Structure 1
Amino acid sequence: MVEGKGQFAIRGGILDIFSVDRENPLRIEMFDDEIDSIRLFDTLSQRSIDKLEKVKVLPAKEIIYSNDKRKGIVERIKEDLDKYIKKLKNKKNSDFAKQIKANIERDIDRFEASPYFPGVDRYIPYILSEPGHVLDYMEDNLIVFLDEAIRINHRMDNLLLEHHELCKGLLEKGRILPENIDIYYDYEDISGRLEKKHNVHMSTVISGEYGRFYKAEKFENYNILSKQMGSYHGFMDILVNDVVEWKRNNNRVVILAGTRARGEKLRDELISNNIEAVYIDEKNIELLPGKVIITRGSLNKGFEYPSIGLVVVSDREVFGIDRKTRKATKKKTKGVKISLFTDLNPGDYVVHQTNGIGQYIGIEKLLVDNIKRDYLKIRYQGGDFLYIPTSHLDTIQKYIGAEGKAPKLSKLGGSDWIKTKKRVKESLKELAEQLIKLYAQRRAVKGFAFSKDTVWQKQFEDLFPYEETEDQLKSIEEIKADMESSKPMDRLLCGDVGYGKTEVALRALFKAIMDGKQIAFLVPTTVLAQQHYNNFKERLKDFPVAVEMISRFRTRSEQNKILRDLKKGHIDVLIGTHRLLQKDIQFNNLGLLIVDEEQRFGVMHKERLKNIRPNVDVLTLTATPIPRTLHMSLIGVRDISVIEEPPEDRYPVQTYVMEYNDEIIKDAIIRELARGGQVFYLYNRVRTIDIKGSQIQELVPDARIGIAHGQMEERRLEDVMLAFINREFDVLVCTTIIESGLDMPNVNTIIVEDADKMGLAQLYQLRGRVGRSSRLAYAYITYKKDKVLTEIAEKRLQTIKEFTEFGSGFKIAMRDLE
Structure 2
Amino acid sequence: MSLAGLDRLLNDSASFARALDCFGESTGFATIEALRPALIAGLLRRRWQAGDHGALLLIAATSREADTLRSAIASLVPEAVTAEFSAWETLPHERLSPSAETVGRRAAALRLLREHDGSRPLVMVASVRAALQPVSSHAATAEPLVLRAGEVGESLDVITARLVEMAYTRVDMVTRRGEFAVRGGILDVFAPTAEQAIRVDFFGDEVDQIRRFAVSDQRSAGEALPQIELWPARELLLTDEVRERAAALLPRFPALSSLLEKISQGIAVEGMESLLPQLLPDLRPLTALLPAGGSVMVVSPEKVASRAVSLAETNREFLEAAWAAATAGADAPVPTDNHGMLTMTELRDAAGERPWHTVTGFVADLDDAAVESGGAEPGESEGAQNGAAMQVGDDASQIVVAGAALPRLTPGGDATAAIVAYLRDKVAAGWRTVVTAQGVGLVERARDVLAEAGLAARIVDVLPNEFDAGVIYLTVAAAWSGFESAESRVALVSEAEFFGRTVSQHQAPSKLAKRRGKNVVDPLPLQHGDYVVHETHGIGQFVELTQRLVPTGVGRTAAERGKALREYLVLEYASSKRGMPRDKLYVPTDQLDQLSRYVGGEAPSLSKMGGSDWAAAKKKARKAVRDIAVELVKLYSARVASPGHAFSPDTPWQHELEEAFPYAETRDQLTTIDEVKRDMERPVPMDRLVSGDVGFGKTEIAVRAAFKAVQDGKQVALLVPTTLLVNQHLETFQDRFAGFPVQLRPLSRFQTEKESRETVDGLAAGTVDVVIGTHRLLTDQVRYKDLGLVIIDEEQRFGVEHKDSLKKLKTGVDILAMSATPIPRTLEMAVTGIREMSTLATPPEDRHPILTFVGPRSDKQIAAAIRRELLREGQVFFVHNRVSSISRVAAQIAELVPDARVAVAHGKLSEHQLEQVVVDFWERKYDVLVSTTIIETGLDIANANTIIIDNADKYGLSQLHQLRGRVGRSRERAYAYFLFDPDKPLTEHAHERLDTIE
Give the Cα–Cα distance (whole angstroms) in 1 for the partners of residues 455 and 894 of structure 2.
64
- Under a length normalisation based on structure 2, what TM-score does the superposition of the two structures give? 0.63
- Name the SS of the counterpart of 1:183 in structure 2: coil
Matched residue type, 1:372: L
Give the Cα–Cα distance (whole angstroms) in 2 for the partners of residues 237 and 597 of structure 1.
36
Within the candidate set 528, 531, 541, 1:359 is matched to 541
Give the Cα–Cα distance (whole angstroms) in 1 for the partners of residues 890 and 486 of structure 2.
56
Q: Percent of pairs identical after alignment? A: 31
Within the candidate set 259, 275, 279, 1:127 is matched to 279
Q: Does residue 1:141 correspond to 2:293, yes or no?
A: yes
Please say if residues 894 and 902 of structure 2, whose CA atoms lie closer than 8 Å, have aligned partners that are also in contact. no
Give the Cα–Cα distance (whole angstroms) in 2 for the partners of residues 568 and 275 of structure 1.
31
- Name the SS of the counterpart of 1:51 in structure 2: coil
Structure 2 equivalent of residue 489 of structure 1: 686
Q: Structure 1 residues 597, 329: closer, same or farther in 2, change over 3 A? A: farther
Give the Cα–Cα distance (whole angstroms) in 1 for the partners of residues 856 and 205 of structure 2.
45
Q: Does residue 1:196 correspond to 2:392, yes or no?
A: no
- Residue by residue over 1:89-115, the C-alpha shift from the partner in whole angstroms, topping out at 9 and shown as x without a partner, is xxxxxxxxxxxx6x4556555656675
Q: Does residue 1:377 correspond to 2:570, yes or no?
A: yes
Q: Does residue 1:428 correspond to 2:625, yes or no?
A: yes
Q: In angstroms, what is the RMSD of aligned CA positions?
A: 5.2
Q: Structure 1 residues 23, 417: closer, same or farther in 2, change over 3 A? A: same
Within the candidate set 432, 438, 444, 1:258 is matched to 438
Please say if residues 259 and 296 of structure 1, whose CA atoms lie closer than 8 Å, have aligned partners that are also in contact. yes
Give the Cα–Cα distance (whole angstroms) in 2 for the partners of residues 692 and 787 of structure 1.
30
- Name the SS of the counterpart of 2:358 in structure 1: strand
Q: Structure 1 residues 387, 733: closer, same or farther in 2, change over 3 A? A: farther
Give the Cα–Cα distance (whole angstroms) in 1 for the partners of residues 301 and 991 of structure 2.
58
Structure 2 equivalent of residue 400 of structure 1: 599
Structure 1 equivalent of residue 590 of structure 2: 391
Give the Cα–Cα distance (whole angstroms) in 1 for the partners of residues 654 and 242 of structure 2.
63
Equivalences for residues 595-744 of structure 1 within 5 A = 595-601=792-798, 604=800, 607-612=803-808, 615=811, 617=813, 618-623=815-820, 625=822, 628=825, 637-640=834-837, 651-655=846-850, 662=857, 666=862, 671-682=868-879, 690=886, 693=889, 697=893, 706-727=903-924, 729-744=926-941
Q: Structure 1 residues 694, 104: closer, same or farther in 2, change over 3 A? A: farther
Please say if residues 531 and 742 of structure 1, whose CA atoms lie closer than 8 Å, have aligned partners that are also in contact. no
Structure 1 equivalent of residue 236 of structure 2: 63
Q: Structure 1 residues 672, 77: closer, same or farther in 2, change over 3 A? A: farther
Structure 2 equivalent of residue 183 of structure 1: 340
Structure 2 equivalent of residue 368 of structure 1: 550
Equivalences for residues 307-346 of structure 1 within 5 A = 311-326=491-506, 327=508, 330=511, 332-333=513-514, 335-336=516-517, 344-346=525-527
Within the candidate set 175, 184, 188, 1:16 is matched to 188
Please say if residues 19 and 58 of structure 1, whose CA atoms lie closer than 8 Å, have aligned partners that are also in contact. yes
Q: Structure 1 residues 229, 54: closer, same or farther in 2, change over 3 A? A: same
- Name the SS of the counterpart of 1:55 in structure 2: strand
Give the Cα–Cα distance (whole angstroms) in 2 for the partners of residues 448 and 499 of structure 1.
30
Equivalences for residues 213-362 of structure 1 within 5 A = 213-214=392-393, 222-229=399-406, 235-244=415-424, 246-247=426-427, 252-280=432-460, 282-283=461-462, 288-290=467-469, 291-304=471-484, 311-326=491-506, 327=508, 330=511, 332-333=513-514, 335-336=516-517, 344-346=525-527, 347-362=529-544
Within the candidate set 25, 35, 45, 2:197 is matched to 25
Structure 1 equivalent of residue 972 of structure 2: 775
Structure 2 equivalent of residue 84 of structure 1: none
- Name the SS of the counterpart of 2:287 in structure 1: helix
- Name the SS of the counterpart of 1:345 in structure 2: coil
Equivalences for residues 518-557 of structure 1 within 5 A = 521-525=718-722, 527-529=724-726, 531-532=728-729, 547-550=746-749
Structure 2 equivalent of residue 164 of structure 1: 316
Give the Cα–Cα distance (whole angstroms) in 2 for the partners of residues 14 and 129 of structure 1.
38
Offset of 1:128 from its aligned partner? 1.7
- Name the SS of the counterpart of 2:224 in structure 1: strand
Q: Which moved more, 1:320-329 or 1:666-675?
A: 666-675
Structure 2 equivalent of residue 805 of structure 1: none
Within the candidate set 188, 207, 221, 1:48 is matched to 221
Structure 1 equivalent of residue 57 of structure 2: none
Matched residue type, 1:419: A
- Residue by residue over 1:774-793, the C-alpha shift from the partner in whole angstroms, topping out at 9 and shown as x without a partner, is 322245689996645999x9
Equivalences for residues 443-522 of structure 1 within 5 A = 443-444=640-641, 446-447=642-643, 449=645, 466=661, 487-494=684-691, 497-498=694-695, 501-502=698-699, 504-505=701-702, 521-522=718-719
- Name the SS of the counterpart of 2:877 in structure 1: strand
Matched residue type, 1:313: V
Offset of 1:378 from its aligned partner? 2.2
Give the Cα–Cα distance (whole angstroms) in 2 for the partners of residues 363 and 204 of structure 1.
65
Q: Structure 1 residues 678, 530: closer, same or farther in 2, change over 3 A? A: same
- Residue by residue over 1:116-163, the C-alpha shift from the partner in whole angstroms, topping out at 9 and shown as x without a partner, is 444544433212222222233332322333323343333222212221
Please say if residues 678 and 746 of structure 1, whose CA atoms lie closer than 8 Å, have aligned partners that are also in contact. yes
Offset of 1:396 from its aligned partner? 1.3
- Residue by residue over 1:427-460, the C-alpha shift from the partner in whole angstroms, topping out at 9 and shown as x without a partner, is 333333333333323223x2564887999x9799
Q: Which has the higher contact order (CA 8 A, sep 6+)?
A: 2
Please say if residues 256 and 297 of structure 1, whose CA atoms lie closer than 8 Å, have aligned partners that are also in contact. yes
Q: Structure 1 residues 344, 437: closer, same or farther in 2, change over 3 A? A: farther
Q: How many residues align?
A: 753
Give the Cα–Cα distance (whole angstroms) in 1 for the partners of residues 763 and 208 of structure 2.
72
- Residue by residue over 1:149-189, the C-alpha shift from the partner in whole angstroms, topping out at 9 and shown as x without a partner, is 34333322221222122223334556346534442221122
Within the candidate set 174, 198, 210, 1:38 is matched to 210
Give the Cα–Cα distance (whole angstroms) in 2 for the partners of residues 28 and 387 of structure 1.
26
Offset of 1:480 from its aligned partner? 6.8
Q: Which moved more, 1:167-176 or 1:416-425?
A: 167-176
Please say if residues 715 and 784 of structure 2, whose CA atoms lie closer than 8 Å, have aligned partners that are also in contact. yes
| Alignment gaps of 5+ in structure 2 | 1-172, 366-387, 552-562, 576-581
Matched residue type, 2:196: N
Structure 2 equivalent of residue 419 of structure 1: 616
Q: Structure 1 residues 631, 543: closer, same or farther in 2, change over 3 A? A: closer
Q: Structure 1 residues 187, 749: closer, same or farther in 2, change over 3 A? A: same
Q: Structure 1 residues 122, 271: closer, same or farther in 2, change over 3 A? A: closer
Please say if residues 125 and 180 of structure 1, whose CA atoms lie closer than 8 Å, have aligned partners that are also in contact. no
